[in-house]
Amino acid sequence: MAELPLGGSVHPDDPDLAALAAEGRIVAYFGYGSLVNRATLRTKFLGIRRASVMGWRRFWMPRQVPDAALLSVRPADGFETQGVVVYDLADHLPAVDEREAGYIRRVVMPGHVTIESAPATDVPLFIYEASPAMPGAADVGAFILQSYLDAVLQGFLSLYGEAGVRRFVAETDGFETTVLGDRAAPRYPRSVDLARREAELFDRLVIERGARIVGPG
């Protein structure tokens, strides 16, 4: 996947975005996982921009066995996390809340976010966080699904280049656990195809970070 050109837009804006924003009919939320990869998007959002948020840190959140860990964030004073800001119709927010059940929706104040070429101002911005008491995947031995990880890392490569992938791996807590190597037979429903150089880069970085890639067994 080619690296995103400067300007920060992940896909073309909806032509009505500005008018809807002026009418107060838009909300935004911060995406820090699979939303960064346009190849995984199944919904046409009004707009998506590269962005960073201050005060949260990404980590691998365990789920009940046999489910794989997922990415989440938790409060972290002074910490900056890269991702995207997604602009969506306010009417869709209840459906997003339902999809993100188990997470806590928080308001992100304007001084805690930086958005590249923001298409609208004064749009309410939210982030979905885990409970601060939630352990990380490495703490309880939860596994990470490689096909999900591939989709996320490819998105960061496209948006932020190799430096962004390295930063993601270095700054995301919980990598010191098992990665289930399902790349050849993906279990993640929105899996992506990788170039060989992408696969080699991703595997090298996560192994250096402390992950153990094992077969699907």
In this predicted structure, the answer to whether residue 6 has a pLDDT above a threshold of 50 is: no
Between CA 183 and CA 39 the distance in angstroms is 16
Token readout for 16 is 């009505």
The predicted pLDDT at position 43 comes to 72
Show Cβ contacts of residue 23 under 8 Å, excluding neighbours closer than 6 positions. Answer: none
Q: Are the beta carbons of 173 and 73 closer than 8 angstroms?
A: no
Per-residue model confidence as pLDDT tens digits over 80-110: 999 999 999 999 999 889 888 888 999 999 9
CATH number of the domain at 17-214, please?
Answer: 3.10.490.10
Predicted TM-score of the model (pTM): 0.91
Q: Where are the domains of the chain?
A: 17-214
Q: What pLDDT is recorded for position 11?
A: 73
**How far is the CA of 126 from the CAs of 24, 37, 193, in angstroms?**
15, 19, 31
Rounded to an integer, the average pLDDT of 179-195 is 94
**Encoding tokens for residue 94?**
């209840």
Element housing 107 (H / E): strand 104-107
Which pLDDT tens digit goes with each residue over 109-164? 999 999 999 999 899 999 999 988 888 898 888 999 999 999 999 999 999 999 99
* Environment class of 2 (CB within 10 Å of its CB; exposed 0-12, middle 13-18, buried 19+): exposed
